[in-house]
Structure formats: structure tokens, C-alpha cells
Amino acid sequence: MTTAQIPRTDDELKELAEQAGRDLEDASALEILQWAVDTFGDGFCVTSSMEDAVVAHLASRVREGVDVVFLDTGYHFPETIGTRDAVEAVMDVNVITLTPRQTVAEQDAEYGPQLHDRDPDLCCKLRKVQPLERGLTAYQAWATGLRRDESPTRANTPVVGWDAKRRKVKVSPIARWTQDDVDAYVLQHGVLTNPLLMDGYASVGCEPCTRRVLEGEDARAGRWAGRAKTECGLHG
Ligand code: SF4
């Protein structure tokens, strides 16, 4: 029986996550990922928006062939799909692409076109939140690239925490990193990044809901700009 097959109750997982969050607060990203791999084995995956491949790269140093889960909403920039393909081709990871139940055309037929403009919460629910929940059923723990410096809503992100919505352990190994730390890691290791980051985008999401950021704006200001919405529901 592998580590990942050892059954744990939600209460046990929650306690484990919260304890690890305290114990690993000052640990390096690699140490945090090593803990996750040692604890969950095959029950651990990395999720990536393909804005960059930093967390996937870090995780692959700890575990060759680690699962990297990507949500293909059907609304991505071509550059994002290209980054996904490049990561799959050159990195020692196992890219798993999740898709919504409906294509964009099928969604348009049922809900009307451009649901993202009329009801972005529903659009994100159908194209991000539900596919991720289905995709994560195979895992006990997932890693994200969330950072505290990205926005006020992410300022208290624990390095390891309990994702009550999905009943999973949520690992954010670069939560304490700054943008400078990310840039330095990318440079040092030649990590793949989305070309849009060189074209004025600081945070890359779906094309209809992402714009370039302006001088002085925080990294996520270009997401759902002009709306009260700041998160897609994956991290709320
Ligand atoms: Fe839809 Fe926009 Fe959410 Fe993408 S980010 S799923 S296009 S509302």
C-alpha cells in the first residue's frame, strides 16, 4: 500500500494540514513539496494555470513525473495552451488536462453567448470550479502557485492549509515568495513562462476576462477588471 492509499478521515487530514502549515511556515518551497510528496505520494498533484511552470518545476525536482493538472476552460489565450504543450514536451512531469462538461459552443447554446460577461461566477463554476473538483477526486492534496504578495485576498495564504470546500490538503509552496523570487528562480533554472508575461500581462487567465496591468496596479488587477470579482472560485 502506498502512502497515498492510507485512508485518512477529513478531521485527520485537516489536523495534519494545519499542523504542517505551522511547522513549515519557514521552510523552503522544496522542503514543503518534499513533505507533500512524502506524506501523500500518488495522492498529491500540482495545479498550474500555465502562467509559468515554477511550481511544476520545483515539484519535478522532488518527484520525477509528478502529476501537473491544467484546467482547459476553452477560453485560454493560444500562448497559454502553447505553454502547456511546451511544459508537457520538455519537463519531467505528467500533464493532465481537465475540461468542462460542455464545450464553449454547447454552453453558449444552453446559457446564451458570452456568459463570462453576464454571469462570470456561473461561467467560472462551469468551466473551472466543477472540472477541478472532478479532477481532484483522485488526490488527497494539491499544490498551487498562490503567493501572498499577489493581492490582498491572498495575503494570508498558508504554506499548507485545509481546503474545506474540496476536503483536500492545499499546499502553496511559494506562498512567501515575492515576484522577485519568482523572476530569480525562472532565470536561474530556465523555467518556461507564458509569453504574455513579457507583453504587459502580470496574471494570465481566460482571454475574455484578462487585460494587461497598468503601472502601480497589483498583479491581479487585470483579472475581471471593472468587476467586483477577484477570484474564480478555485481559491475562495
Ligand atoms: Fe469564464 Fe472568464 Fe471564468 Fe474563464 S475566467 S471561466 S471565461 S468567467
H-assigned helices in the chain: 10-23, 29-40, 54-62, 78-90, 104-111, 115-118, 120-124, 130-135, 179-189
For residues 13 and 211, what is the distance between their CA atoms, to the nearest angstrom?
Answer: 38
Tell me, yes or no, whether 229 lies in a domain.
no
Task: For residue 165, tell me if it sits in a domain.
Answer: yes
pLDDT tens readout for residues 4-36: 455 589 999 999 999 999 999 999 999 999 999
Contact residues for 146 (Cβ-Cβ < 8 A; gap 6+): 154, 157, 172, 174, 175, 235
Residue 101 within any structural domain of the chain: yes
Higher pLDDT, 223 or 189: 189
Cα 209 to ligand 1 centroid, rounded to whole Å: 6
Residue nearest to atom 3 of ligand 1 (CA): 124
Say which of 62, 136, 192, 232 is annotated catalytic: 232
Task: Using alpha carbons, select from 33, 81, 35, 80 the residue that is nearest to residue 57.
Answer: 33
Number of domains observed in the structure of the chain: 1
Is 66 within a domain?
yes
Q: Is residue 186 part of a domain?
A: yes
Residue 224 within a domain: no
Q: Whose CA is nearest to atom 4 of ligand 1?
A: 206
User: Is there a contact between 51 and 76 (Cβ–Cβ < 8 Å)?
Assistant: no
In a domain, 190, yes or no: yes
pTM (whole model) above 0.85: yes
Regarding beta strands 168-171 and 160-163, do their DSSP bridges make them parallel or antiparallel, or are they unpaired?
A: antiparallel
What mean pLDDT comes out for the span 59-69? 98
Please report whether residue 209 resides in a domain. Answer: no
Range of the domain at 9: 3-198
45 is catalytic: no
pLDDT tens digits, one per residue of 114-159: 999 999 999 999 999 999 999 999 999 999 999 999 888 899 999 9
Nearest CA to ligand 1 atom 6: 124
Q: How much is the pLDDT for 213?
A: 85
Closest atom of ligand 1 to 128 CA is 6
pLDDT score, position 209: 93
Nearest-atom number in ligand 1 for the CA of 75 is 7
CATH of the domain at 33: 3.40.50.620
